[in-house]
Amino acid sequence: MKEYEVEGRPPSPERIFWRQAIQEIRKDSVKTVEDAAKQLIALVTLLSGLYFHAITFSKIPQGYAGLKVLFVGPLVLWVLCLLAATLVFLPRRFLLSPYDPEEAERLVGQALAWKYRLLVAALGLLVVSLGWLVAAAWVYLDIYVAK
């Protein structure tokens, strides 16, 4: 067996620490994104349940299609938010070779990026729905409380 002469110096303790920290972050990132999606699902479920009961017992005037859209809009956005947050858990199938760690790292990175995009989309839908909810509450209060 040939011996090779290697030039250079060993990595500093700080560099070793950061390399290990990055590996831990990568390892835990899928779990973190999935935990955030679970929390988002719980929040949207709670909000939609409360809102549905509030609409059921309120007196919304009949015949105004614009008002129906205004009051149903948050529910539609919450359903889309739940769909996006639930898709975070959708398993993906990969054909991995145990002899190619770079390919495995690339595929896991793609899966994580996909999960993160879905989570951000769900969060964006939640923010838009909350704005819509404020607008609906404003109109409702303007119609009924101002009288």
Residue 107: other Cβ atoms inside 10 A? 15
**102 in a domain, yes or no?**
yes
Q: Under 8 Å CB-to-CB from 99, ≥6 apart: which residues? A: none
In order along the chain (147 residues), what is the average pLDDT of each group of 10 residues? 74 86 84 94 94 81 74 93 95 78 84 94 97 89 69
In terms of residue numbers, what domain contains 77?
Answer: 30-144
> How many distinct helices (H) and strands (E) make up the chain?
3, 0
**20 in a domain, yes or no?**
no
pLDDT number for residue 26: 80
**119 in a domain, yes or no?**
yes
φ, ψ dihedrals at 89, nearest 5°:
-90, 0
Question: 8-16, long-range: CB within 8 Å, 24+ apart, which pairs?
Answer: none
Query: Into how many domains does the chain fold?
Result: 1
**103 in a domain, yes or no?**
yes
pLDDT number for residue 140: 80
